[in-house]
Structure 1
Amino acid sequence: MNLALLDPFAVLKEFPETLTHTLNFGHSVYIKYNNSGDYLASGLSSGTILIIDNDTKNVIRKLQGHIRAIQSLKWSSCGRYLLSSSRDWKCLLWDLKFNKIIKKFNFNGPIWNAEFSSKNISDIVVALYDNTPKIIDETHGIRDLDDDKSLVTTFHPDGEHIFIGTNKGIIKIISRETLEVLFTQKISNSSIKNIVISSNGRKMAINSSDRIIRQITLPEFSTDSSLWELETDHKYQDVVNRLQWNSILFNSNSEYLIASAFGSAHVIYMWETSMGSLVKILEGPKEELVDIEWNFRKCIIGATGIDSGTIYLWTLVIPQKWSALAPDFVEIEENIDYEEKEDEFDIVPEDEINQKQLNEEDELIDIITKDKTDARGYQLDKPFVVDICYDQIELSEGEE
């Protein structure tokens, strides 16, 4: 019955607009939804990881293995495994079915981010702060991915290419199979802080410390790498306030790009990627937002507050269609003055009310006589005939 009260056209909205929930389970610094959107992993400043059910908004599992703040989280496509990195210089691979650590990796420096391939959870790339990036697999263990110092690494959705962003504004594309550097291009004169690639693998967004987010169309990797070129389609920036950007993210079909701003701006900016125009600014909290996440399945945007560690959730508010309760129910946009009838609120003795009900019960209901017309107004005593004009029908040879 509740589904009948919802406006079906309101569900067509592509992004949430209203801040509806705040979750306070410790000081959250990093959040990540699984692919189905049913569970939210929240990394705390204490190193604990909480798994929150999206429907009940309650903690259903607590993972304790790190001793310092969580730096990054990554779900497997099946939702069973979770990769976490922390400021304690460790990466842990969790099996959520048995709630235990199945792999542990220690490094000799701070970790910027870590993630595994969408094709194989055994392939893991780790970006170390101001150090050479690492790649981990079952065959060779931990190896250097590149000779230069990097700041961020990520897998392409095809699992065959690895992207590296350096502190000199250089983007490198490396083959996963051979670990050969296939392509190198200087994008910015500043450090690259974030690299996000759309789920279809066609668009890439780069957040650098020069306060500019660059949207780039990726080349066809099936062609010769000498023909590749990273063309910047749009540049997103706040020209007036010159804001730095903390985190960036595409939506599911890469039609929108969102970013959280550094400093006093307590909002999330949203751009339309085809034209590069600003379409929405999500407002609500009174503190700076650090990490952001977009739940594509449930149409939810989440963000963490830097001071309180609160998780803020923007969702769709669908108006209820109360006219579905009764055909004669009328919805009004504003209050109107109702003029009651003269005897509408007159007090009627109880015996008169009972006598009126008895009189109505004495009325005979005819259940034998057939109706002469149906609900559409057609007479039931006449056959329903469809007139066909044979002059307008062309018969083929041999037909009559």
Structure 2
Amino acid sequence: MLTYDFLATEPGPLKFYIFLGLIAYTWWLLSIVLSVRPSWLDRFVGLPSIYGLHGMLGVLAIVAAYVHRDYGYSPSRLARDLGDWGFYGALAVLCFSVFFMSGWLVDRSRLLLAAKRLLEVVFRRRLSVWIHRLNLVIVAMIWLHVHLLVRVNQHFAFMVLFDLYTVMVLGIYAWKKWIAPDTYPMGTVISNEALGGATRKMSVDLDGKAATLQPGDFFFLSFEGSPSVSREWHPFSVTDENPETLTFTIRQHGDFTRRVGNVEVGTRVRLEGPFGRFESIIQDRDHEAPLVLLGMGAGVAPLLSLTAAHHTTRKIHLLWAVRSPEDAYYRDALLEYQAASGDRLQVTTSIGRFRREDLASTLSAEEIAKGAFFIVGPNPAVLANQRLLRRMGVSARRIHQERLTM
């Protein structure tokens, strides 16, 4: 914007609308960079926040592009058409992604959630990912749109900077998607067993060692050479703290995870990660403050690794909501941790979700007043428990959550 402002001689109002177009384009580029999951940024703010910013940039870019489109003008018919196609394409992809790939709407409305599950028969996750990638085509349209505008392309220094930003971002995306995976750690599936009615426990023996693994972390997995599942990346939380053999607890819910049971022992797995901020949050908190870990179903997985790491040194209250008694598949492991904790670990298991009266009678006054809460589970359940804890007097800054659908 500063470069164009220095070089261009258009009237102020026209410059303003051009600036809005540049802002929208730059935000689209930044959104693409965030979509590759920068691991260094994850350790600072967490992947959910990165995805949240990715989505908000897409929304705000549409707003800026709308004003730019309605109040700007161009003598080139092709430039106008490319701008219109890019705008309407971005709007369509945004609406699709908000409904199918985020929980902004469906996690807060049972009716919309039911409609999404019905439509997912056609719009499966892999198709949704490819539709979302149409943003790259839209960026190419807008890039060509700018190159056709005489009032813009006449400024050589500006165009060099504009192209440099574009090539750099697309280069980062191409490297991360097609070149960097060859450098990711590899492992072999050594077990894949059923736990309860709709959950599996999978162990992956790494070729090396996950040196940067922290308790509560998760990886994105891609199964190679398995005809049962696609090679799309999917996130799974690590259940223990063994850096050489990773164990994942997988809830079979979506179209991808329902087929995980067909993954055979010996299948090669590529892993991206680790990701997660739970451990760094715990280390930053008062050592005497209790930890309250609330897991729903397979959401207990990252909380179990946190329990394994801290049950002998921190006061921990683990609350685990399961659908049936058979789904409490880690009961024995929790009993072992409890016995070794020196009365530091308390475990409460509930058949069905915890209600407000359950939490009120289970949580101590110290936990409500000073505890650090970590909630993991399906999106709607996490949001519901977060609201419940807020009403009970737990401040928002002490509530940390991770949703099983990203």
TM range (shorter): under 0.3
Counting strand residues as a fraction of each chain, which structure ranks higher?
1
The TM-score normalised by the length of structure 2 is: 0.25
Larger Rg, first or second structure (1 or 2): 1
